[in-house]
Amino acid sequence: MDDFCEAPNAMAVIGLSNAAAYFQNSCLVFCLMIPLPLVLFTYVIFKLYAGDKKNAVQSRAMHDLLTTIRELEVLNGEHCSELSRMKLQVEELAEVRQQLKANDKEQQERILCMEKQLAEKIETLKSTEARLVQLRSLLHNSEMERDRLKEELAVVDERVQASRESIDDLEAQLEKLKAENRSLFKQLSEACEANQLKPTKEDSSQTDSKKEDVVDVTRLRVDMHKLDKEVEQARADLCKAKDELTHLRKELELKEGELCEKKDKLDEYKDFVQMYNESQAEHKRKDEEKHALDQENKQLLKELDESKCKAVHLESTLSSLQQANATLKGEIVKLEQEKLKLDNDNLQLIDQLRDALHEKEILEQAVQKAVVSVEDEENVEAPREPVHSVRPLWNPPEDICDDSFVAPEEAANESGSESVRHRKVLKLGERPTAIPSPVNSTRREPRKELRFDDSWA
């Protein structure tokens, strides 16, 4: 901005120096035509004036150079401070890089230690896993044995229940037979007593019936004896089934105890497997942290390279800006010269435009005077007719349909001074909208319709 502000002053100084040089050459040519003392006197005065101007121009140019040098020194100082700041950033990045390398080494050592510990844990876990597989197989076998024992126990329970039901049936039949036997013994005893009390001769039929009763009694005794044996056999089977059932229950309790122990061991191994999974997850998390640190280290290295490239780019841009500043100063000088030329051309064009506008105004005033004189002559020579006999057959334009405009019929009825006073006054650059056609003064004819055209223009 300072360069742009100082450019007009520099252009002014250059213009003055050029004018002085031109004036010097013209004065030398003019001095050949006048006497020598006057020539010497004027030459001495001009040299003094030209020397002062030259010193002023040189001092101004030196001042401009000093200001540009100071500006460049300020820019150089800013760039030097920027470079020093970037160097400090590079040093900080180098320290951060060293710290990251040290942290990376420590993390690698920790990772190696953790890998060793994990390898040991994995070996122990593998051995425990093999034992766990064995225990699982044993547990499966024990569960199968338990299921088999449960099935056998259920079968024995069914058999015991069936034997109990059969024993109950046999006891009911035995009680029934005992009741029948008692009734038969009672009848037999009564018959014997009756026979002892009445020792009479019996018929053969009664003896036969008694024999049959005796046979039935013996048969019933045999059946009762068989039923007693079957009941004893069923009781023995029931006792044996009870003993077997108790034995199976004891075995089942033992198997359940072993199964509980195996379940406890299985829970312990499950806890161990959970610890193993947690250690695997921790190892995976450490790997992810290591990968993230590697990525961060790569990003920092990339930023360091970018900062170095930016420093180089800033140095190159500084040199290019200095060159561009010099070229801009030259272009500013050229533009100022072109501006002076354009200002001179613009002043000439403005003068020509003023002259043309003045001439146009004079012509418009002359035309207006001619139009007014023609209308006055028409008003004097034309007869006065009634208003109702004249009908306007023209449509005035929109720009003259106002109160200040007077139609030709109204102008004929009014005096010349009033018509001039009430007529619309043309402004500068404005053209009249209509001109009435000329009328012959020697012949008196009725007024025809008025036509307007712009042929006069």
Distance CA(21)–CA(37), nearest Å, equals 22
CB atoms within 10 A of CB 408: 19
Per-domain boundaries in the chain: 2-104+319-353, 128-301
Closest of 317, 311, 316 to residue 81, by C-alpha: 311
Non-local CB neighbours of 38 within 8 Å, separated by 6+ positions: 31
Query: What pLDDT, on the 0 to 100 scale, is given for residue 27?
Result: 52
Query: What pLDDT, on the 0 to 100 scale, is given for residue 434?
Result: 43
- Contact assessment for residue 227 and residue 175, using Cβ atoms and an 8 Å cutoff: no
Query: What pLDDT, on the 0 to 100 scale, is given for residue 195?
Result: 62
Query: What pLDDT, on the 0 to 100 scale, is given for residue 413?
Result: 47
Distance CA(443)–CA(409), nearest Å, equals 19
Closest of 397, 446, 322, 352 to residue 69, by C-alpha: 322
Residue 272 corresponds to which tokens in the numbers above? 């161990």
**Nearest 5°: CA angle at 71, between 65 and 72?**
90
Closest of 388, 386, 427, 428 to residue 404, by C-alpha: 427
Cα torsion angle, 189, 191, 192, 194, sign: positive
Non-local CB neighbours of 176 within 8 Å, separated by 6+ positions: none
Distance CA(309)–CA(327), nearest Å, equals 27
Query: What pLDDT, on the 0 to 100 scale, is given for residue 81?
Result: 82
Non-local CB neighbours of 329 within 8 Å, separated by 6+ positions: 3, 7, 68
- Contact assessment for residue 382 and residue 446, using Cβ atoms and an 8 Å cutoff: no
Closest of 398, 410, 129 to residue 270, by C-alpha: 129
CA 444 to chain centre: 95
Query: What pLDDT, on the 0 to 100 scale, is given for residue 395?
Result: 46
Query: What pLDDT, on the 0 to 100 scale, is given for residue 138?
Result: 77
- Contact assessment for residue 450 and residue 436, using Cβ atoms and an 8 Å cutoff: yes
**Three-state secondary structure call for residue 1:** coil
Distance CA(242)–CA(256), nearest Å, equals 21
Distance CA(9)–CA(15), nearest Å, equals 10
Closest of 410, 404, 393, 403 to residue 452, by C-alpha: 393
> pLDDT digit string (tens) for 398-452?
444 444 444 444 444 444 444 444 444 444 444 444 444 444 444 444 444 444 4
Query: What pLDDT, on the 0 to 100 scale, is given for residue 56?
Result: 66
Is 446 buried (19+), middle (13-18) or exposed (0-12) by CB count in 10 A?
exposed
Query: What pLDDT, on the 0 to 100 scale, is given for residue 38?
Result: 64
Chosen CATH of 128-301 out of 3.90.550.10, 3.40.1410.10, 1.10.3730.10, 1.10.287.1490 = 1.10.287.1490
Token pair 């029931």 in the structure block, residue: 238
- Point out the residues of the chain with pLDDT beneath 70: 1-58, 188, 192, 194-211, 213-214, 216-217, 220, 325, 380-457
* pTM (two decimals): 0.28
DSSP symbols for 24-47: HHHHHHHHTTS-HHHHHHHHHHHH
Q: How far is CA 310 from CA 85, 86, 214, 314, 322, in A?
A: 12, 9, 138, 6, 18
